[in-house]
Copies of this chain bind each other. A is one copy, B any other.
Amino acid sequence: MPPIKVKSAEVATTPRRQHKADARAAAGSHGPAKPRAQTRIQREKQDVILEAALEVFSMHGFRGATIDQIAEVAGMSKPNLLYYFPRKEEIHRRLMSALLDTWLAPLREINADGDPFPEIRSYIRRKLEMARDYPRESRLFANEMLQGAPRIIEMIEVDLKNLVDEKAKVLLTWMDQGKLARTDPYHLIFSIWATTQHYADFDVQVRAVLGPARGGEGRFEDAARYLEGLFLHGLTPRSTPKAG
Residues of A that sit less than 8 Å from B by CB: 58-65, 116-117, 120, 139, 142-143, 145-149, 153, 156-157, 160-161, 164, 175, 178-184, 186-188, 190-191, 193-195, 197-199, 201-202, 204-206, 208-211, 214, 222-223, 225-227, 229-238
Q: Which 8 A-B pairs have the closest CB atoms?
A: A63-B64, A194-B198, A64-B64, A187-B226, A234-B234, A194-B194, A233-B234, A184-B226
Residue of B nearest to A187 (CB): B226
- As for how many copies of this chain the complex holds, the number is 2
Q: Chain B CB within 10 Å — which of A160, A225, A229 has the most?
A: A229
With contact pairs A226-B188, A235-B188 given, residues A149 and B181 touching in the complex (Cβ less than 8 Å): no
Cα A157 to Cα B211 with chains together (Å): 8
Cα A160 to Cα B142 with chains together (Å): 22
